Each structure stands twice: as C-alpha cells, then as structure tokens.
C-alpha cells in the first residue's frame, strides 16, 4: 500500500539486517502497525533524529485501514493520492463486505488480545454489523484511553476487562455473556463450547483491505462450523468451581480510597 504512494519501506526490527538498522536515521518518517511494539521507539526517533511519525490505529478493518493510510500519506503530502486509492478499494471491497455481513449481522462478540489488536478487532466487527459485548486487554494507559474513546463511538454497551489475560476473570465473564463468537486467545472459551477464532494469522493477510475480507469469512466460517468447540465442551472440564461462575468476576478488585 505504501508503495502506491511512492514510498520505500525499511522494515524493522523483523526481517531486518545490520544494514537496514544503519539506515534507520536516514528515514523521512516512520509508522507502525502495532502501537505496543513501536510507539516508544518512534518517539525516540523523533526526539533524537527529528523523524516525524504517524501512528493512529492498527490497519484492521475498513475504518482503521483508512485512518492508518491517511495518517502516513499526510506525512508526505500525499493526501490526494491516498484518497484516490481508498475510493478504489472501497468500490472493490464494500460489496463483498455486504455479502459477509449477511452471515454475521447481529452476532455478539467477545474479544481478547493485545492492546492494539483487540481494539482493532473491535472496530473490524462493526464492518460486519456485529455487536461487541466484551473486550479484554492486558494494559491501560493514556493511549489506550484514546482507543477506548474512539471505540465508544462505534459500540455502546460492552464490558472492558483490563487484565493481563487472567483466565479466572475471562472464563467467568464469557460464561455470563455467552457470545456467539470469541476472538482472541481461546483456551477457556473453547471449553465453554463457544466458537473461537483469532485476527492473527501469519499465513494470510489480516491487515489492509484484503485482510478485511479474509477475516470476515474466517469469523463466519467458525460460527457456522462450531463442531469442534461443542465436542470439546462436552468432554472438557472447566477449571473452577461452580460457585465462581455465579460470583462477580471483579470481586477481587479493590477501589482506590
């Protein structure tokens, strides 16, 4: 996508080399696809080498991909080119998204994942008319609050659990909410018989406009074929006593005095 703007990319730190690392200070700008791994690094590049950066959201879903692409384009005065490309991609993918939406409209979703990816997935499901009922993410900071405010414009009534993947909270909440699908780290939700999937797939595109179509079909396929999870629920034992599932999942959190 960035090549369409006439930009050459130096991918770091993955797929990198000593020569690529040496070229870092010569960059005209930087961006990332995951704020957790890159924000501090990009801030240091700006402070030490005057390299401006654009980091808005992870480019998963129509809304987020548009926003991420526009953010990079703005650094180079390429807004017009970006809008032309976005228009063409919308014409291509939106009709296909509508077909996927017919399979997913109204389905209730619980999401668990890293801070950037979970918020991106929450924006993605709105493309398919799905309802967010809960979201679990490991950390909270000022940047996360920006994402939450952004997400509140999309979804209205959902639970946010700030927890470092504590399974005892997650399995309680998911059992109470009983979503149609669980997106993220699925171990305990799968044992509840809930269809599970993930937005992270190293073999397929999950970001950008093609990624939207792949993820939508992947989620729909999982909901329509829940056989494995149902069989797992029939034979797997849940990890906690019945009394815990009837308790407040946040009972161990003490309010600040």
Domain boundaries, the chain: 96-245
Domain 96-245, second-level architecture? 3-Layer(aba) Sandwich (3.40)
Report percent pLDDT > 70 for the chain: 98
Mean pLDDT of 211-238: 92
Beta bridge partners of 162: 137
Mean pLDDT of 102-117: 89
Distances (CA, A) of 82 to 9, 61, 78, 96: 17, 17, 6, 21
Between 35-49 and 115-124, two packed helices, what is the crossing angle to 10 degrees? 110
pLDDT computed for residue 253 by the predictor = 83
Mean pLDDT of 121-148: 87
Mean pLDDT of 118-136: 90
pLDDT confidence band for 123 (50 / 70 / 90): confident
**Token pair for 87:** 């228009």
Distances (CA, A) of 253 to 171, 250, 256: 16, 6, 9
Q: With 90 as the cut, is the pLDDT of residue 141 above it? A: no
Residue 109: closest CA among 58, 56, 184, 165: 184
Higher pLDDT, 70 or 239: 70
| Conformational region of residue 61, where left means phi above 0, alpha means psi within -120 to 50, and beta covers everything else | left
Count Cβ neighbours within 10 Å for each residue of 142-176 and write b for 16 or more, e otherwise. eebeebeebbeeebeebebbebebeeebbbbbbbe
Check: CB of residue 100 under 8 Å from CB of residue 84.
no
pLDDT computed for residue 140 by the predictor = 83
Mean pLDDT of 151-173: 86
Q: With 70 as the cut, is the pLDDT of residue 165 above it? A: no
Q: How far is the C-alpha of 117 from the C-alpha of 126, rounded, in Å?
A: 15
pLDDT computed for residue 158 by the predictor = 93
Nearest-5° angle of CA 119, CA 123, CA 129?
Answer: 140
The whole-model pTM stands at 0.87
């Amino acid at each position: 996508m960035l090549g369409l703007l006439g930009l050459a990319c130096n991918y770091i730190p993955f797929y990198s080399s000593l020569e690529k690392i040496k070229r870092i200070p010569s960059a005209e700008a930087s961006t990332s696809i995951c704020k957790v791994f890159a924000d501090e690094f990009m801030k240091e590049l700006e402070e030490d080498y005057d390299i401006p950066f654009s980091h808005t959201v992870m480019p998963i879903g129509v809304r987020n991909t548009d926003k991420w692409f526009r953010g990079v384009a703005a650094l180079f005065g390429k807004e017009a080119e970006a809008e032309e490309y976005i228009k063409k991609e919308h014409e291509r993918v939106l009709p296909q998204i509508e077909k996927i939406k017919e399979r997913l409209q109204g389905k209730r979703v619980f999401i668990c994942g890293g801070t950037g990816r979970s918020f991106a997935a929450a924006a993605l499901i709105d493309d398919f008319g799905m309802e967010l009922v809960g979201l679990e993410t490991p950390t909270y900071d000022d940047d996360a609050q920006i994402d939450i405010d952004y997400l509140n414009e999309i979804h209205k009534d959902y639970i946010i659990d700030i927890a470092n993947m504590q399974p005892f909270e997650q399995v309680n909440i998911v059992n109470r909410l009983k979503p149609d699908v669980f997106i993220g780290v699925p171990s305990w939700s799968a044992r509840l018989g809930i269809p599970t999937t993930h937005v992270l797939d190293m073999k397929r595109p999950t970001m950008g406009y093609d990624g939207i179509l792949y993820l939508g079909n992947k989620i729909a396929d999982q909901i329509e074929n829940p056989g494995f999870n149902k069989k797992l629920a029939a034979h797997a034992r849940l990890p906690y006593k019945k009394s815990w599932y009837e308790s407040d999942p946040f009972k161990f959190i003490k309010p600040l005095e």
